[in-house]
């Protein structure tokens, strides 16, 4: 996408959570210009949001729930954070539309 990024991307497989705070330190978040999320649960979203707000690093939060999608741009000190909103209860069920193999074929 951007040839200027070649050699400047460090892909990590470490889970971002309180137990990896020694890897993803405050300085790590402070040194970023933007964080882009595509997480699968509310707890993880709130954690990354809190780290970005603390570091004052902008966050592009995105996600899906079945056929629905959302995106939220969070700029600490200027916009509402992800954690300042209440999400629907996470019932750990997979949405029915996610279980469909094809739009016209229901499992």
Alpha-helical (H) ranges within 1-101 are 26-30, 42-55
Residues facing residue 105 across a β-bridge: 102
DSSP secondary structure of 12-23: -----SGGGTTT
| Consecutive H or E run containing 65 | strand 59-65
CB 53 within 8 A of CB 47: no
**38 HSE (CA, 13 A, CB side):** 0
Q: Which active-site residues does the annotation give?
A: 97
């Amino acid at each position: 996408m951007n040839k200027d990024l070649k050699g400047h991307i460090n892909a990590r497989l470490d889970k971002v959570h309180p137990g990896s705070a020694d890897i993803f330190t405050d300085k790590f978040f402070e040194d970023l210009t933007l964080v882009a999320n595509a997480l699968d649960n509310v707890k993880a979203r709130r954690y990354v949001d809190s780290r970005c707000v603390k570091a004052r690093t902008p966050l592009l939060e995105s996600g899906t729930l079945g056929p629905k999608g959302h995106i939220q741009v969070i700029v600490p000190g200027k916009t509402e954070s992800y954690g300042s909103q209440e999400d629907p209860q996470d019932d750990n069920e997979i949405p029915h539309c996610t279980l469909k193999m094809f739009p016209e074929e229901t499992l």
